């Protein structure tokens, strides 16, 4: 049977674009369909604009520190409209780059909402396209029903498009998005209250990082409400009212719903292929990213597995190299580094201490907790914390955890060593690069504790 294309990709985010371009480079005839802006969550309404906002927030710290380094400063103030204008220009530029990359690779772009109409068939507006292979890469979107009334709150897309900042804001949740924006907004002059349902923020991260992340948020002026997620949110004349435990109610002009994201699978027509969606509407896939339907694949956040841009890109490239490159490639997600771009940032690779013990490892734990030189010079209080988890039996470094300046940059480099299976002895043999904070990772000589293994459950 003849098809219009070898591959149609639904969704032109980072994963979809990377997969489509690689498929085209391997000689496939490829179309990609995008219902919103090319670039997707990461480029348009996620990682990139968030990091640009974090950079804006970082200047608040730099300005506070500068007098200690001999600077005299005049009045400095942050003007959100100017940042918003520059951010809009940058995302437009990047969208243009993505469009050019697609065109330059020979991938045909269709602007519009895609709907699967049956095996090998995709409808976009009044066009019906056919392909031997369909790739679902439609990403995820904020949940809007986690708490009664949470639909009244802004989501991260709205926050990144604000032109003026509120004076007071509530942030609900304590995952990546909540913690990053609470930290950023506080530095930009917003009085932030963080409401979350656990004792500590950042579930899934090592407890030593979680405790220090909470302290860092507090030090930035964020009011923490642990065990304090609202049970209901009402819209009021002046904003929003959060109904919390014990009958307390708190009013805010602005509240951010950061209670998670859900795969974009509604109205995609996947039922026409016999695909039964998993929890939260995720597309179930096997290790190769194949769905239950012949010739249909899914990558990235729509599978709700490891919702990180580089994972989606790696999955997409491996998939199309298997389909069109004559190779059988699978992505190994055992060791994936991730970072929370709060200030100071958190970065991590490998299991938490609790996870490593539960997985049956006897551990040597190495830690450093110090005020970096940059802070001590002007009397700043910010600390850096670093932790290595070493398998006591094999000497292999299982995990690196850090909160502190430059943590994501440092952990990205150490991720190479861990991927290569580095041992603690090899860390010890590495000559330090002085003076840096990162050198602490090769100077930790004595374990701060030894933890016995627990039999795996
Ligand atoms: P997360 O899953 O990280 O966090 C969701 C938060 O919402 C958790 O604190 C969770 O609490 C809370 N929550 C969920 N339901 C409720 C409820 N009913 N009541 C109260 N609290 C609730 O999601 P995010 O939206 O922050 O981020 C989505 C994903 O996007 C991340 O998991 C990450 O993979 C990715 N991302 C990555 C970034 C990066 O790489 N820097 C940045 C932003 C996003 P609890 O912990 O108690 O379950």
Apex CA 204: angle with CA 198 and CA 210, to 5°? 65
Looking at residue 456, its pLDDT comes to 67
CB of 56 closer than 8 Å to CB of 189? no
Pocket lining for ligand 1, CB < 6 angstroms: 146-147, 173-178, 180, 196-198, 203, 229, 258-261, 307-308, 338-341
Compare 375 and 453 and report the one with higher pLDDT.
375
Q: Whose CA is nearest to atom 48 of ligand 1?
A: 203
pLDDT score of 245: 84
Q: Which of 236-250, 339-353, 394-408 has the lowest mean pLDDT?
A: 236-250
Q: What integer is the mean pLDDT of 340-359? A: 97
* C-alpha of residue 101 to centroid of ligand 1, in Å: 32
- Rounded to an integer, what is the distance from CA 46 to the centroid of its chain? 8
The pLDDT of residue 1: 79
Ligand 1 centre and the CA of 174: distance in Å? 6
Choose one of 173, 280, 344 to mutate for the ligand 1 pocket test, by most ligand atoms within 8 angstroms of C-beta. Answer: 173
CA-nearest residue, atom 41 of ligand 1: 340
Q: Tokens at residue 115, please?
A: 């709907």
In terms of Cα–Cα distance, which of 92, 108, 82 is closest to 7? Answer: 108
Nearest CA to ligand 1 atom 13: 259
What mean pLDDT comes out for the span 178-205? 98
Active site residues: 434
| pLDDT on residue 299 | 98
With the most atoms of ligand 1 within 8 angstroms of its CB, the residue from 149, 160, 176 to mutate is 176
CA of 367 to the centre of ligand 1 (A): 27
- DSSP label at residue 72: -
Is residue 455 pLDDT above 90, yes or no? no
pLDDT digits (tens, 9 = 90+) for 80-128: 999 999 999 999 999 999 999 999 999 999 999 999 999 999 999 999 9
Q: What percent of the chain has pLDDT over 90?
A: 96
What's the chain's average pLDDT?
Answer: 97
Average pLDDT over residues 133-159: 98
Which contiguous run of DSSP H or E holds residue 9? strand 5-10
| Cα-based distances in Å from 219 to 185, 195, 214, 215, 373 | 13, 16, 9, 6, 19
Residues 302-317 have a mean pLDDT of 97
> Contact, 344 vs 405, CB < 8 A?
yes
Residue nearest to atom 34 of ligand 1 (CA): 307
Report CA-CA distances (Å) from 198 to 131, 206, 250, 257, 263: 47, 14, 19, 16, 24
Domain annotation for the chain: domains and CATH numbers: 5-141+262-324 (3.50.50.60), 150-259 (3.50.50.60), 344-451 (3.30.390.30)
Distance 280 CA to ligand 1 centre (A): 14
For 416-441, what is the mean pLDDT? 98
Q: What is the arithmetic mean of pLDDT over 361-385?
A: 97
CB 402 within 8 A of CB 372: no
Task: Please provide the size of the chain in residues.
Answer: 457
Cα angle 436-440-446, degrees, rounded to a multiple of 5 = 160
DSSP string covering 145-191: -SSTTGGGSB-HHHHHT-SS--SEEEEE--SHHHHHHHHHHHHTT-E
Lookup: tokens for 199: 């004792």
HSE-up of 203 (CA within 13 Å, CB side)? 11
The residues, any chain, with a CB within 8 Å of residue 355's CB and separated by 6 or more, are: none
Phi, psi values for residue 297, rounded to 5°: -130, 160
Give the CA count within 13 Å in the CB-facing half-sphere of 46: 22
Q: Above 80 in pLDDT, residue 457?
A: no
| First CA to last CA distance, the chain | 50
8 Å CB contact between 244 and 225? yes
Residue-level pLDDT at 221: 98
């Amino acid at each position: 049977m003849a098809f219009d294309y070898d591959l149609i990709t639904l969704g032109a985010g980072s994963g979809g674009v990377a997969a489509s371009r690689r498929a085209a480079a391997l000689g496939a005839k490829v179309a990609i369909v995008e219902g919103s802006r090319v670039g997707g969550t990461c480029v348009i309404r996620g990682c990139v604009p968030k990091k640009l906002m974090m950079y804006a927030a970082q200047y608040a710290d730099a300005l506070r520190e500068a007098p200690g380094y001999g600077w005299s400063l005049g009045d400095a103030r942050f003007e959100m409209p100017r940042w918003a204008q520059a951010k809009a220009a940058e995302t437009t530029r990047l969208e243009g780059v993505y469009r050019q990359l697609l065109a330059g690779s020979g991938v045909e772009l269709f602007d519009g909402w895609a709907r699967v109409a049956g095996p090998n068939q995709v409808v976009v507006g009044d066009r019906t396209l056919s392909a031997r292979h369909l790739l679902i890469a439609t990403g995820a979107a904020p949940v809007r029903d986690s708490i009664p009334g949470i639909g009244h709150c802004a989501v991260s897309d709205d926050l990144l498009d604000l032109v003026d900042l509120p004076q007071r804001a509530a942030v609900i949740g304590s995952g990546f998005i909540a913690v990053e924006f609470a930290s950023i907004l506080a530095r930009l002059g917003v009085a932030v209250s963080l409401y979350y349902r656990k004792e500590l923020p950042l579930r899934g991260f090592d407890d030593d990082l979680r405790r220090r992340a909470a302290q860092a948020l507090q030090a930035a002026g964020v009011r923490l409400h642990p065990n304090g997620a609202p049970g209901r949110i009402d819209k009021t004349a002046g904003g929003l009212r959060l109904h919390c435990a014990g009958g307390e109610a708190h009013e805010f002009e602005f509240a951010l719903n950061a209670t998670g994201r859900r795969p974009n699978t509604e109205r995609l027509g996947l039922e026409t292929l016999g695909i039964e969606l998993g929890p939260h509407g995720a597309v179930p896939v096997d290790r190769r990213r194949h769905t239950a339907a012949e010739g249909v694949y899914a990558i990235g956040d729509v599978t709700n597995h490891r919702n990180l841009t580089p994972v989606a890109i790696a999955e997409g490239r491996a998939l199309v190299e298997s389909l069109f490159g004559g190779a059988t490639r699978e992505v190994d997600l055992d060791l994936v580094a991730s970072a929370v771009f709060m200030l100071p940032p958190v970065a991590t690779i490998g299991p938490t201490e609790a996870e490593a013990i539960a997985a049956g490892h006897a551990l040597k734990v190495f830690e450093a907790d110090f005020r970096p030189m940059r802070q001590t010079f002007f009397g700043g209080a910010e600390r850096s914390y670093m932790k290595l988890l070493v398998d006591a039996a094999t000497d292999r470094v299982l995990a690196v955890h850090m909160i502190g300046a430059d943590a994501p940059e440092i952990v990205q480099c150490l991720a190479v060593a861990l991927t290569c299976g580095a041992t603690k002895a090899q860390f010890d043999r590495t000559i330090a690069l002085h003076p840096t904070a990162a050198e602490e990772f090769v100077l930790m000589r004595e374990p701060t504790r030894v933890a016995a293994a627990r039999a795996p459950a």
